[in-house]
Amino acid sequence: MPQPRIIIVGAGFAGLAAAKALKKTQAEVVLIDRTNHHVFQPLLYQVATSVLTPSHIATPIRSIFRNQKNTIVIMGEVTGVDKDQKCVFVSDADRQNVSITYDYLILATGASHSYFGHNEFAEYAPGLKSLGDAEAARNKILQAFELAEAEEDPARHRDLLTFVLVGAGPTGVEMAGALAILVRTALKSDFRRIDPTSARIVLVDAAPKILGPFSENLSKAAKQRLEKLGVEVRLGHSVDQIDAEGVIVAGERIASKTVIWTAGVAPSPAGKWLNIETDRAGRVRIQKDLTVPGHVEIFVVGDTASLDQNGKPLPGVAQVAMQQGRYAGKLIHSRIVGSPPPRAFSYFDKGSMAVVGKGFAVLQSGKVQVSGLGAWLAWAAVHLQFLATSSLRLGVFLQWIWTYVTGQRGSRLIVNHHGSDKGTRSAETPLGAAAASK
């Protein structure tokens, strides 16, 4: 009798957790992802601000599962699901819409940028969801200083060195803090015609406070820390327009050549694939065992799933994704071996944290609220723990120590993608390699 086939779509936190939970299951586990690597998304902003290199936070999926003999890795993009025929359709560089059948399906397809109905902003304000995004942001940030150094007119330096971050959640706050440290340390002495410390960093959000899920005290502490670092925090007003010349906030134009979107996210099209009920954000409404109504063999987990607990929807954070992925894997294992299934899924909140520049973070777990160096050390320990491999943990730890002590960054290279040089090299000079994207 052939072994059951379990297809997992997506190698993010949820997909990896599900696959690892099926390690000892007598089944064929097929893990499908658009790229060949798993990215530790919470540290993408550190690649964008030159603290870490892409290789510090990403690892090939195949290397993660090299000792898990029941798991097959396929690099391809899932374009649809046929619930009746129990198959997914996969496309790659060579083939289109290849049908692969399943006995169990776990959709862990994650999320992408959401511009809240203003998709025209995407051209001028790229987001931060992939290695390609992070490298593009790093290029844009570093190039702004190069352009300012080459600019003969000092009056233009201010606009070239104005950076606008739209969205004051954890990503925006962490990015703003890291960018402020970058201009104060690594770049401070590298230029002759400009003063990098004069850079203007503006963090914008329509909410009344930064770090919305955090307590008022921690939000206030984080805001004060950002302002101490020189970040201009503008709250209570949404962005009205983003174009090649900058942004318009509350009727005021902020001239900037570097705008980065750190606001909302949108789920994958899994709801459309399955043709079932979704919430207002487009996330698939799932049952307490993480399956979709009417199909006990289909699980949806992570950022593309909608599940209420204690009257509130679960947040789209890594801990939810990992716990859901692990639960889905254990439930499928119990069905295959015929053991009692686990109880209905219940998310255990281990707390939230955000780092705000060098040696400062905020941490909230239940009634515990901590800010400062202690929270920063806890943040560092937790993030190191959840990196995919021990080699990544060691590499990131050593780079963090080096950066903390010396102020020097892991990578300050401007890498031109797809041969997009703008006259900075002679015609016969070979170009750099293109970055991976997701």
Please give the positions annotated as active site.
Answer: 174
Task: Mention every residue, 6+ apart, whose C-beta is less than 8 A from residue 107.
Answer: 9, 10, 81, 268, 270, 273, 274, 284, 298, 299, 300, 301, 304
**Helices and strands per DSSP (H, E), number in the chain:** 12, 27
CB 343 within 8 A of CB 166: no
Separation of alpha carbons 355 and 37, rounded Å: 25
Amino acid type, 46: Q
Number of neighbours of residue 192 by Cβ within 10 angstroms: 6
CB 19 within 8 A of CB 302: no
Q: Where are the beta strands (DSSP E) in 117-175?
A: 162-166
Task: Mention every residue, 6+ apart, whose C-beta is less than 8 A from residue 195.
Answer: none
Cα–Cα distances (Å) from 130 to 39, 47, 57, 171, 406, in that order, read 7, 10, 11, 13, 28
Alpha helix segments (H runs only) across 262-341: 270-274, 318-337
Separation of alpha carbons 348 and 3, rounded Å: 33
Cα–chain center distance at 261 = 12
CB 31 within 8 A of CB 61: yes
CB 133 within 8 A of CB 140: no
Task: Mention every residue, 6+ apart, whose C-beta is less than 8 A from residue 197.
Answer: 183, 184, 188, 230
Residue 306, SS3?
strand
Say what the alpha-carbon torsion angle 48, 49, 53, 57 is, to the nearest 10 degrees. Answer: -60
Please, what is the end-to-end C-alpha distance for the chain in angstroms?
A: 37
Among the listed residues 205, 154, 198, 221, the one whose alpha carbon sits nearest the alpha carbon of residue 371: 221
